[in-house]
Amino acid sequence: MQEVASITPYQLLGGDAVLRQLVDRFYDIMYTDPRASGIRAMHANDSGPIRDKFFDFLSGWLGGPQRFIEKYGHPMLRARHMPFAIGEEERDQWLMCMFQAMEETQMEDALRDHLEDAFYRTADFMRNK
């Protein structure tokens, strides 16, 4: 009997095309919404490189191609974010941008719920102040 492979969040989301939409919308919100000014200030004026890096990271994090690891090695999220002062306010700004981007991206409610929980736990783990 052949085993059926489980479907990943990356596949449920719709793969690269929808993931790119999500990442781009996330950064569009971060770079334009005054409520995200705290985290916006931590980023370069040119968002192109960080958009690509975040796309690569989320691809693997969601169960798709491991682009980030192939290019940069292990994500080491906490270590990579340590130079930035991240508290509850910064976490909440980041989550506001992501949750709004997710709301504007077509996906099943169950996937949205799963991702909201996973993003919250990850963003909370990044706090270092």
Q: Take residue 2 and report the two structure tokens written for it.
A: 């052949």
- pLDDT on residue 5: 60
pLDDT tens sequence across 97-106: 999 999 999 9
Structure tokens at 59: 């691809």
The second-level CATH assignment, the architecture, of 11-125 is Orthogonal Bundle (1.10)
So what's the pLDDT on residue 7? Answer: 92
Quick: pLDDT tens for 10-61: 999 999 999 999 999 999 999 999 999 999 999 999 999 999 999 999 999 9
Does the CA dihedral 48-123-103-110 come out positive or negative? positive
Q: How far apart are CA 92 and CA 35, in angstroms?
A: 10
Q: Which of 48, 50, 15, 36 is nearest to 99 (CA)?
A: 36
pLDDT given at position 6: 87
Which of the pair, 123 or 4, is modelled with greater confidence?
123
**Predicted TM-score of the model (pTM):** 0.92
Q: For residue 1, what pLDDT is reported?
A: 42
Nearest by Cα to 43 from 97, 2, 4, 1? 97
Sequence spans of domains, the chain: 11-125
